[in-house]
Structure 1
Amino acid sequence: MHRYSWALAALGPVSSVVVSASPLAFRSPSYVSHQDRLDGVKEAFQRSWDGYYEYAFPNDSLKPISKTYDNDRNGWGASAVDAISTALIMENTEVVKQIVDHIKTINFNQTVEGAEQVSLFETTIRYLGGLVSAYDFLTGPFEGIVDQDSVDTILDQAVNLAELLSIAFDTPSGVPINDLVFNGPDGPVTTNEATNGIATIGTLILEWTRLSDLTGDDKYANLTRTGEDWLLNVKNPEVGEPYPGLIGTNVNVKDGTFADGRGGWNGGTDSFYEYLIKMYLYDSERFGVFKDRWIAAIDSSITYLASHPSNRPELTFLAAYNGAGPDKLNFVSSHLACFDGGNIILGGLTLDNEDYIKFGLELVNGCHETYLGTVTGIGPESFRWQDSKLTNASNNGAAPSDQAAFYAKNGYWITSSAYILRPEVVESYYYAYRATGDTKYQDWAWDAFLHINETCSAGVGFSAVTNVNAANGGSFYDSQESFWFAEVLKYSYLIQAGEAPYQVSADHNNEWVFNTEAHPVRVAGKPI
């Protein structure tokens, strides 16, 4: 494993203007730019891109050790499309032009052999989100980097893709089917899924609404709103809404009723809640009810799900649930769920609610502790804890004996030790920094980036690792997924960068909102 000189040098003190800010200084925070850190993130991006472009392009994902590729996202070049908004922010014109040239050649009618099953959710957040973001950027702050015909083609390709995916919504209830099959003689068809999850139903509306707003054709927004309405207006709340605003996971495609009351902020449910406040930020007039549902979900999360480890009660995590009541709580969380602090901070800024901001910062601190506790300095895929209040409850067991000492020190124990290049902890650092101007969040993000660089650098790029609590991360999975470009590198860069129109603002003047894959799209009604 190589160590790079910029990373080693940056382990020492960084010369900069230090800004101290209280959590409540969010109305007018000041920010600091660290050029040496920005250069370090740019180097990691270029190294990752060069490996991908030489050994994997135009396929989806690089296998950096074996120097080959995976087609894990349909074979349309997921890493390229996912990288374009980051390349634009870094002003990497050469890479931008390479990606734009590729986008013009994608045939969305066909997937590569062996990748016939297409996820509506993953394709929306990575490809459709990447395309509409690129169009917004290239007709806005980065206009002129490529010719107008190419820019128009990007929007045309987004329309082509949405038209193909639209078959997913042709169900009795309008709840889409997530898994589609391409390459048949009659075009895409749906699978026979009886249910779909709230994340895969509720994390479409931003991208599809933006496409409608760009094209003037409301049908794309209307398709996603029909399915979303079943989540906003739960038909069988006795099953599907255990707490006000907090809903189950799986919805019946036939009639829009909920099949369970299991949920929380982990994978499968997470980004439904994320998009509620982001849609209100996108257009407060059209999506006022989304704000109300987000507030209900946050208030219930604070009241019912907020939990403190028995031996580290100063830490705060959000529990999962399988129905209403303390005996139904499941004290488990994940790297994925660590976006929660950032989302709640964003909502607090949007709604001028200081209590939400402070609670979001508590959650950010808890996720930071998961990074501090491991050998590699990187947080695990999933973890558990023992709640400080529910003593002797059957759902509140102690740490296993082989992790008792680890739990006593850190306030959590590891249930899945992998790190697959996830962004969520750095993402929440970003929102915490933009809300407060407190440079400690920049330092936390830089520490995380240095540890990821040290542990995950592999072959011609970066790889997921098997064990964050083992020397060198255990072993490599030989996998560099596309969200490494879209999210980890983007948030690692933006938190160290200066002001720009697409940066999250603490003063109610946000011109852009980030989709769950960190692709910025222009807020409705904002001038170009």
Structure 2
Amino acid sequence: MRSLSATRSVALLLLNLAAALPHRNRATQYAVNQDRADAVKEAFQVSWDGYYRYAFPHDSLRPVTNGFADDRNGWGASAVDALSTALIMGKWDIAHQILAYIPEIDFDTTTTEVSLFETTIRYLGGLMSAYDLLAGPLNDHVEDISDVEAILSQAKRLADNLKVAFGTPSGVPDNNLFFNPPRRGGSTTNGIATIGTLVLEWTRLSDLSNDTEYADLAQRGESYLLHPQPPSGEPFPGLLGTNVLLSNGRFVDSNGGWGGGTDSFYEYLIKMYLYDPERFAEYRDRWILAADSSIEHLVSHPTTRPELTFLAMWRDKELRFFSEHLACFHGGNFILGGLTLSEPAYTNFGLALVDSCHATYASTATGIGPEIFAWQDSAHPANATNNPPAPAGQAAFYDRAGFWIANGNYVLRPEVVESYYHAFRATGDAKYQDWAWEAFERVRETCRAGSGFSSIRDVNQPGGGGFHDFQESFWFAEVLKYSYLIHAEDAPWQLKADHTNEFVYNTEAHPIRVAAGREMLRR
């Protein structure tokens, strides 16, 4: 296990990066732009009104046809995902509508398969975030504490049903469940994101309920990722394959990246340390190992725009030069790691990743980044089998943009604006506010459809190439929250650059009170 001091080669690379990029002063001043913040609140209201009229209490709105979908078990995913954003925005009329609904959710019953991962980050995270906000900095808005305690009761009820997932020979959970009664779906493997993105929410539930079982269950599954076996499951130090066996926790592949299926495992390593540095120092060390290894092994610059910095994916130890909108959270995660560890080199590297993900927005016809993009690496031979040129039809676009589009969908994803938010809170540089505002304006004008906002088919077609007729619940939880926070006044839940954080955000952008704040939760 690597300690806080990196190996000599990686340390030198980090120092070079720090020298090459401008040093940021953490004594930041945050400009507030109330007009922009209010515009985002208006979009939230429009989105909620459409959902509440045509879809509530179902999961998601189909805005074009004014219909609904129960894609997250029919428990009102958009309502629960919207609650922490409504509280942060001070949208108390909406918050009260959701708070009145939460005790009515029947978490014992659903007719569809349950995802342990999705249910944890959306429902469990959303409930505990609401509890932390209302029992903490917003408790002056609470008239009856029993209303807040009801949120925690529902979180425990849900988690008690989900606990069956961990009843495998190894303790690695099965992500696929069924209820009525709760039972496992019979999977043989699970992925590192769906194993490693439970520890924050389940540990927090233990800390709030004084019941260690929830934390113990999630941390047992996580232990196989902190100590990966066999060695082939860790092709680069700290960087893992994707899938492990439920029977024994051993890796079955060596393929991975900072994208979908693996992403939030790395995200939660540093966030667990921020949550409680006393209990989770090992998570910090594993994040450092992964971060250093990413800089040493994965950094890639496209042939047509070598000033851009992307992180490659890998298959075994062979790099694959593509990435995803999902992966663009990594800039913010490196920034968070740099702030948390007082290591400006990590922060500066994160800022370079943010700049490059901004390029994926700035280069398309809609001004919105694509779901998947690829490039030709400047350091590998142009004729290498893993380093093909741009498709003929996109050669001109690649010459200009530094990437080509492998999948042009935009499904209302938050990761790029999430990283803008972290960059702004680290530096106070107003350009990140401007980038976030540009992204919001482009999404607002392209994705506005019917009674809300819809995912689109092609970011490089004027008007987005048509609608998918779907408003994701994370549109409420993430896109609108980060788009608002970057322009809003300082508050206890805002990211701090000076080690005074009171909250840490789960991967669904629900702010969770750090462990040191436990004494503030009850009155």
Aligned residue among 201, 224, 227 for 2:221 = 227
Q: Which runs of 4+ in 1 moved over 4 A?
A: none
Select which of 124, 138, 155 maps to 1:128.
124
User: The residue matched to 1:104 in structure 2 has which SS?
Assistant: helix
Alignment partner of 1:409 is 2:406: no
**Structure 1-normalised TM-score?**
0.93
Aligned partner of 1:245: which letter? G
Query: Which of 288, 301, 306 is the matching residue for 1:308?
Result: 301
**Residue pair 1:63, 1:478 contacting (<8 A) in 2 also:** yes
Q: Distance in 2 between matches of 1:117 and 1:388?
A: 44
Is the aligned partner of 1:25 residue 2:46? Answer: no
Instruction: Provide the C-alpha distance between the structure 1 equivalents of 2:94 and 2:387, rounded to a whole number of angstroms.
Output: 50
> CA offsets, 1:192-213, max 9 Å, x none?
1100000000000000000000
- Residue number in structure 2 paired with 1:295: 288
Q: Deviations over 1:50-75 (max 9, x none)?
A: 00000000000000011010000000
d(CA) in 1 for partners of 2:76, 2:384 = 49
Which residues of 2 match residues 213-252 of structure 1 at below 5 A? 213-237=207-231, 239-252=232-245
Q: Which residue of 1 aligns with 2:429?
A: 438
| Structure 2 match to 1:19 | none
Q: CA separation in 2, counterparts of 1:120 and 1:404?
A: 42
Q: Residue 276 in 1 paired to residue 251 in 2?
A: no
Q: CA deviation at 1:149?
A: 1.3
C-alpha deviation, 1:25, in angstroms: 3.0
Alpha carbons of structure 1 residues 76 and 329: separation in structure 2 relative to 1, 3 Å: same
The gaps in structure 1 that reach 5 residues or longer are 1-21
Q: Is the 8 A contact 1:26 1:506 kept in 2?
A: no
User: What is the deviation of 1:416?
Assistant: 0.3
Paired residue for 2:254?
261
* Aligned counterpart, 1:349: 339
| Alignment pair present for 1:191 and 2:185 | yes
1:109 paired with 2:108, answer: yes
1:48 and 1:398 map into 2 onto residues whose CA distance is: 41
Aligned pair partner of 2:152 in 143, 152, 155: 155
Say yes or no: does 1:522 pair with 2:516: no
Q: Distance in 2 between matches of 1:188 and 1:405?
A: 53
> How big is the shift at 1:81?
0.2
The residue type equivalent to 2:49 in the other structure is D
1:472 matched residue in structure 2: 463
* TM-score when normalising by structure 2: 0.94
Q: Please give the secondary structure, in 2, of the residue aligned with 1:396.
A: coil
Deviation of 1:144 (Å): 3.7
Give distance in 2, aligned partners of 1:45 and 1:141: 22
C-alpha separation between the residues in 2 aligned to 1:330 and 1:299? Answer: 19
* Aligned counterpart, 2:279: 286
Give the match's secondary structure for 1:525.
helix
Structure 1 counterpart of 2:348: 358
Q: Within 2, Cα distance between the matches of 1:338 and 1:137?
A: 27
1:494 aligns with 2:482: no
Identity %: 62
Is 2:166 aligned against 1:176?
Answer: no
Pairwise CA distance, 1:145: 2.7
C-alpha contact (below 8 Å) 1:24/1:436 kept by paired residues: no
| AA at the equivalent of 1:231 | L
1:195–1:250: 8 Å Cα contact kept in structure 2? yes
Task: Give the structure 2 partner of residue 419 of structure 1.
Answer: 410
CA distance in 2, matches of 1:198, 1:498: 36
**Structure 1 residue 274 displacement after superposition:** 0.1
Shift of 1:393: 1.6
| Letter in structure 2 aligned against 1:166 | K
1:133-175 C-alpha deviation (Å, 9 max, x unpaired): 0000000111143421111100000000000000000000000
AA at the equivalent of 2:465: G
Equivalence for 2:16: none
Residue 364 of structure 2 is aligned to residue 367 of structure 1:
no
**Is there any run of 5+ residues in structure 2 with no aligned partner, and where?**
1-20
Give the match's secondary structure for 2:516.
Answer: coil
In the alignment, the residues of structure 2 paired with residue 395 and residue 149 of structure 1 have an alpha-carbon distance, to the nearest angstrom, of 59
Q: What is the match of residue 73 of structure 1?
A: 72
CA contact (8 A) 1:23 1:436 kept: no
Q: How far is the alpha carbon of 1:23 from its aligned partner? A: 5.0
Cα shift at 1:24: 2.9
Separation (CA, whole Å) in 2 of partners of 1:191 and 1:63: 29
Amino acid corresponding to residue 137 of structure 2 in structure 1: P
Q: Aligned equivalents of 1:148 and 1:96: distance in 2?
A: 15
Partner SS, residue 141 of structure 2: coil
Shift of 1:90: 0.4
The one-letter amino acid paired with 2:357 is C
How many pairs were matched up? Answer: 497
